[in-house]
Chains A and B, each alone.
Chain A
């Protein structure tokens, strides 16, 4: 217990130091700094939610789920479908619901359905290949991602979709800093989901099984832990979080397109690795860190340099901490 507390305190102090350093080095006014900080929190929460899915799959199965970015996209589209449908039903007077209820239903239902998409991906692309070289599963993941993108394009067409605006944006002025209720909601709900996941993994029997599987996936199934169920559960949970991220993304930037998952997905993947194998706290922190880096680089330097600087910082961190923030060196033999 003492060690975990130490880790949390250490990371909080570290984050504070980094933020303070950026503040001092950039020479921004406090107002614009806090404005960027808020944007970074929102942007980072997308990365963090998606990175959690990568990190869990990687922790439990030691496999990269390269389709995860596209599951995020599918989640956003499922959310869009549910929200648009419910709004249309309300307009016709068949099922008039208040907007906040539509939002809650959209989030819950989209998470539910997208988790089945994730389980399907596991069943089709990963379970048959569990004994195969690990890279083969990476290929099937990549291919499933392409199928999801193209399938979406073929079914729904190339035009962009607008996410219905469910909650009215209210702007609060806290001195010079402007805050919208949407931003607060997104950050708050993301943190809530992460906390919920953490509690699930720490407190429940299923979570214990997942942690055990991450510890040793050869011996633990012999102890009677159902490997297939746990693998499906891992994919399902990760996909549900990705769906939530997709809906939040749709609310914040209300344009959906079939290829929106690629860039965000790969960046979240890098964040997941940066956090350390299978570490929930690490993935969340690294996601927020990536958000901070990107927003602040774009604020200080020309925004085209964003990727160069963000990835260079990541390379630098990985050079000194090869296993990420909270990853432990593992000696499991590669199954390549």
Chain B
């Protein structure tokens, strides 16, 4: 997705529409498989020659996030310096001089992006297009859909792994993005597909995080509070999914406490109850001394590495995607649109709402468990109003009632927060302003109420030659 957005450089736009159309036509022939091969090769290139190339381009190291921060942070610094020294010209000049070396890195970073990411991706994707088209068609024709899907996922994972392998920082960012995808999707189930306004997701996340952490620390870690491990730590990683599932179930049980009183009536009732619930969870955890109280809970084994988090995210996307298309998912959409009419159509509205809500809470709990085992430390302050704002912003930025929208929202906001980090304090002014503008321009979010069909995503694209020869044969 990242690469596809940046394939058309501004210079080409200048050259006129004909060239643009040509580029578009060329790119339209590449199937998803081709793009994945391209990005995989690009990350492989970065693995092998990235270090020396970065040195040749006089960059200190391989740029962390596509070099975006190297490009943006000097610009931010200039802006801040101008604001700071409005009236003090010598001071401004002096501070600009300190920024100058950073400014000199920008061409190198741009060249790095072009050489390492864009060019290899484009070349490989385009050159392999005939081959990958045929392969995609063969896979779809000969085998069930899931074979092709698994191949795509495998390639995607390989790309992510190679890309993340460069630095700890990238690994961390990748896992945070994946976890926020789980969280956003599960909140979208309640706020989008069910049409309620739930504020308790940080609470469910905290429950899942604490429950699974207690389990793993109790059974597999030599801890000051919980004592020696009850089971040999060697089998720990295999039991980790079980701990996560139990964490999710604990969150679901907590969700019952919200669901039972609040689903009697409709309206903004759930918003209040769930908000109160979130504060109660946070406050209860702060009062439980055995799990650290307000100081937090640590010593979790860091088992949530990239493959684990990726696998859970894939399972979550798959399950929620299927859930939304299942009978109960459609029933919950019907309840959202008109509860009375849905009831008249023999939908058990109360049960539908319950199941959807508990299912969403389960995934929030799993996300919390993963989060705890990525960080190795959690404290109740993490799961507060700020987290709530973040998750809500991701859901509504991405768009309601759309799995793709949620993924885009989580990815977009997390990347934005990382890229704007050099702004320091001003980040929390720029991001809200961007979100407000976006909400006003697109009140329903980026991609709302639409869904990409997996078959459409994986299908081979018709090449120019074949479409010219046999019209209508491509699909």
Contact status B272-A273, CB under 8 Å: yes
Q: Of A5-13, A17-25, A27-35, A313-321, which stretch is located at the interface?
A: A313-321
Contact status B440-A128, CB under 8 Å: yes
B194 to A, closest residue via Cβ: A336
Contact status B428-A146, CB under 8 Å: yes
Contact status B197-A129, CB under 8 Å: no
Chain A residues contacting B475 (CB-CB under 8 Å) are none
**A153 part of interface (Cβ distance < 8 Å):** yes
Q: Of B54-62, B110-118, B121-129, B273-281, which stretch is located at the interface?
A: B273-281
Which chain A residues in 40-94 approach chain B with CB under 8 Å?
Answer: 64
Which chain B residues in 250-281 approach chain A with CB under 8 Å?
Answer: 261, 264-269, 271-273, 275-277, 279-280
Contact status B279-A311, CB under 8 Å: yes
- Known contacts A136-B443, A140-B439; is A270 also within 8 Å of B425 by CB? no
**A216 part of interface (Cβ distance < 8 Å):** no
**B235 part of interface (Cβ distance < 8 Å):** no
Other-chain residue from B269, B280, B436 in contact with A312 (beta carbon distance below 8 A): B280
A142 to B, closest residue via Cβ: B389
- Known contacts A266-B385, A312-B280; is A154 also within 8 Å of B429 by CB? yes
Other-chain residue from B197, B261, B429, B436 in contact with A125 (beta carbon distance below 8 A): B436
Contact status B280-A139, CB under 8 Å: no
- Known contacts A308-B280, A314-B276, A336-B195; is A142 also within 8 Å of B393 by CB? yes
- Known contacts A129-B443, A305-B287; is A140 also within 8 Å of B276 by CB? no
B393 to A, closest residue via Cβ: A139
Chain B residues contacting A307 (CB-CB under 8 Å) are 279-280, 282-283
B424 to A, closest residue via Cβ: A154
**B461 part of interface (Cβ distance < 8 Å):** no
Contact status B336-A147, CB under 8 Å: no
Other-chain residue from B264, B284, B287 in contact with A322 (beta carbon distance below 8 A): B264
Nearest Cβ in chain A — how far from B227, in angstroms?
26
Contact status B444-A154, CB under 8 Å: no
Chain B residues contacting A147 (CB-CB under 8 Å) are 428-429, 432-433
**B426 part of interface (Cβ distance < 8 Å):** yes
Chain B residues contacting A153 (CB-CB under 8 Å) are 425
Q: How far is the CA of A305 from the CA of B283 in the complex (A)?
A: 7
Contact status B393-A315, CB under 8 Å: no
Other-chain residue from B197, B272, B432, B436 in contact with A318 (beta carbon distance below 8 A): B272
Other-chain residue from B191, B279, B389, B428 in contact with A135 (beta carbon distance below 8 A): B191
**B392 part of interface (Cβ distance < 8 Å):** yes
Q: How far is the CA of A147 from the CA of B439 in the complex (A)?
A: 15
Chain A residues contacting B279 (CB-CB under 8 Å) are 266, 307, 311
Contact status B261-A315, CB under 8 Å: yes
- Known contacts A135-B197, A262-B385, A304-B286; is A150 also within 8 Å of B429 by CB? yes
Contact status A270-B272, CB under 8 Å: yes
**B396 part of interface (Cβ distance < 8 Å):** yes
Residue positions of B touching A, CB distance < 8 A: 191, 195-197, 261, 264-269, 271-273, 275-277, 279-280, 282-284, 286-287, 336, 385, 389, 392-393, 396-397, 400, 425-426, 428-429, 432-433, 435-436, 439-440, 443-445
Residue positions of A touching B, CB distance < 8 A: 64, 124-125, 128-129, 131-136, 138-140, 142-144, 146-147, 149-151, 153-154, 262, 266, 269-270, 273, 304-308, 311-312, 314-315, 318-319, 322-323, 329-330, 334, 336
16 CB < 8 A contacts A-B = A64-B268, A132-B443, A134-B197, A135-B191, A136-B439, A136-B445, A139-B396, A150-B426, A154-B426, A270-B272, A307-B279, A308-B283, A311-B277, A314-B276, A323-B265, A334-B266
Closest 8 CB pairs between A and B? A132-B443, A143-B432, A307-B283, A150-B428, A319-B261, A311-B276, A308-B283, A273-B272
